[in-house]
Amino acid sequence: ENLDSPGFFVHWPFHKKYYYAYKGSLTIPPCSEIVYWFIMDEPLKISKRQLLELQILVASYLDNNCNLSTYANGLGHVNRPIQRHDKHEVHHCDRGDYNRRKLRKRRRELRKSQKNN
């Protein structure tokens, strides 16, 4: 891993295999439930420079009229209080999910749930 690289080259599939996933909401108003969140079992490593670039990017967000329109605090955080997850199904992808039969079944389940939403 090259942690000195200033670029952000994290694409699906991630380099890490195991993760938690759920359909959730935006962290900023209007907090619409239109996001699929993927949380890795192990943190991805980035350099200090990459972290700084992310903080600057989030803190300097411009709206459609080119006005500063960030919800971030001074550190670039846009988190909100923890929300209840009564209706959110959390899926944990681990070693067992890489069994081909289970993987096909899970894909069918995901397609079915996406059609129902």
Write the pLDDT tens digit of every residue in 46-82.
Answer: 888 888 888 888 888 888 899 988 888 877 777 777 7
Bridge partner list, 92: 20
CA distance 2 to 11: 15
Give 3-state DSSP helix, strand, coil % of the chain, rounded to 5.
30, 15, 55
CA distance 1 to 90: 29
Share the mean pLDDT of the chain: 77
Bridge partner list, 68: 62
Please say if the pLDDT value at position 12 is more than 70: no
How confident is the model at residue 106, as a pLDDT? 80
Long-range contacts of 6-9, Cβ-Cβ distance < 8 Å, separation of 24 or more: 6/47, 6/49, 6/50, 6/53, 8/46, 8/50, 8/53, 8/54
- What are the tens digits of pLDDT across the range 13-33? 455 678 899 888 888 778 888
